[in-house]
Amino acid sequence: MFDVGFWELTIIALVALVVIGPERLPKVARTAGHWLGRGRRFVANVKADIDKEIKAEELKEVIEQQTGLANPVHEMFEETKGDFNQIKHETVEQVKESREALDSHDKN
């Protein structure tokens, strides 16, 4: 993340030792490490949340695409169902007419 070399770290450590003092330096270093760890965890959590949102959006797009593909199939199914119902109705009518013709033929 930061391009800090060996000499930069040495200078920072010497300045911290002079400014803070040798007694408080371990506690300050521990506190700084603690806050640095919290910051890293926070950044990791934010990244994870962003990744989840991106994946959720991608999943929504895939579902919308699949729904768009399923619509024509549903329409074809409904058309076929209507055609079969029409054939059924016509067949029932033909059977009724045939029975009526047979009944009238038998009476004569």
Q: Name the CA radius of gyration of the chain, rounded.
A: 40
So where are the chain's domains? 7-107
Per-residue pLDDT of 43-97, as tens digits, reads 999 999 999 999 999 999 988 887 766 667 778 888 999 999 999 999 999 999 8
Q: How confident is the model at residue 2 (pLDDT cuts 50, 70, 90)?
A: low
* Residue 16 and residue 25 in contact, taking contact as beta carbons nearer than 8 Å: yes
Is 70 exceeded by the pLDDT of residue 108?
Answer: no
* Residue 34 and residue 26 in contact, taking contact as beta carbons nearer than 8 Å: no
Hey, which bits of the chain come out as E strands?
none
* Residue 49 and residue 40 in contact, taking contact as beta carbons nearer than 8 Å: no
* Residue 20 and residue 32 in contact, taking contact as beta carbons nearer than 8 Å: no
Is 60 exceeded by the pLDDT of residue 1?
Answer: no
Rounded CA separation 87/78 (Å): 14
Question: So what's the pLDDT on residue 27?
Answer: 92
Rounded CA separation 33/15 (Å): 17
Question: So what's the pLDDT on residue 70?
Answer: 64
Per-residue pLDDT of 19-50, as tens digits, reads 988 888 889 889 989 999 999 999 999 999 99
